[in-house]
Structure 1
Amino acid sequence: MSRSRVPLLIGGTAAAGIGYYLYTAGGDGKVAQKQAEADAHKLSSKVKGELPGRGQEAQKDAEVLGRQAGAKIDSALSKTEAELARAKAEAQAYTKDARDATLKKIDEFDKKVENEASKAKSGISSWFGGK
């Protein structure tokens, strides 16, 4: 059967760490514990110090990024609004042109129908003795 060797490696590493601190402390358990705590504190403060976005520096960076993002959004919004206004004006102009052309065609059709109707009326009237 295949078993995981991870617990064995973790245990060996822990034993080696304990052995190191006991050796450097000269075999005194309390001194070794204090050294391990001091090293852990140094490592923790070093890691915290190197993390991006700490303290007021992170707040200033966030404010700058927020302003930049806001400016980009405002710019994009104003461009979009300008394009919408232009498209609206074009659509209104197209609608007006189409309406005018349609009304012109309707007027032409009405005039043609009236002319043909008057011709037909005069033709029918002539059958019955009218002009």
Structure 2
Amino acid sequence: MSRRGLTVAGLAIAGGAGYYLYNAGGDPKTAEKKFEADASKLSAEIKKELPGQKKEAEKKAEAWASQVGQKVDRTSADAKNKFVQAEADAKSKFAEAEAKAKDFGSKTSTEFNSAVDKFDKTVEEKTAKAKSGISSWFGGK
């Protein structure tokens, strides 16, 4: 503490001692008893107010916990809703992609079969020409 603080504290103590001595008519024993009685009364008042403050603090803490619980519940519900929505979107997109793949596959299959048929026809025609050409070498028609 600073020198000024010590001076102020000393003056406050001296003033308090002077007050009790004056009220006791200069008798130090009586002044001490009055001081102890006042200190006891002040202590009892503080102790009396503390339980009320404890209950009030408990109520405030309970209200705060309730609010936090509600926020947690809301946040959890929002997250769950977003997850359900994302899952539904994913299923929808998957079904759409699957349908497109099937459509593409069927188109590709049709085109492939058409190309194979065309190739077979061409091969058969060329084979028939080749047979007729070879048969003519051996006297066939």
Answer whether TM exceeds 0.5 for this pair. Answer: yes
Count of residues in correspondence between the two structures? 126
- Counterpart of 2:53 in structure 1 is 53
Task: Give % identity.
Answer: 25
- Counterpart of 2:14 in structure 1 is 15
- Counterpart of 1:65 in structure 2 is 63
Whole-Å separation in 1 of the counterparts to 2:6 and 2:51: 30
Whole-Å separation in 2 of the counterparts to 1:52 and 1:126: 108
Query: Which of structures 1 and 2 has the bigger CA Rg?
Result: 2
Structure 1 vs Structure 2 CA RMSD = 3.4
Code of the aligned partner of 2:70: K
CA 1:67–1:6: 2 relative to 1, 3 Å: closer
CA 1:24–1:88: 2 relative to 1, 3 Å: same
SS in 2 for 1:54: helix
**More deviation, 92-101/44-53:** 44-53
Whole-Å separation in 2 of the counterparts to 1:114 and 1:66: 72
Does residue 30 of structure 1 match 2:29? Answer: yes
Stretches of structure 1 lacking an aligned partner (at least 5 in a row): none
CA 1:103–1:33: 2 relative to 1, 3 Å: farther
Code of the aligned partner of 2:128: G
Scaled by the length of structure 2, the TM-score of the pair is 0.62
**More deviation, 43-52/7-16:** 43-52
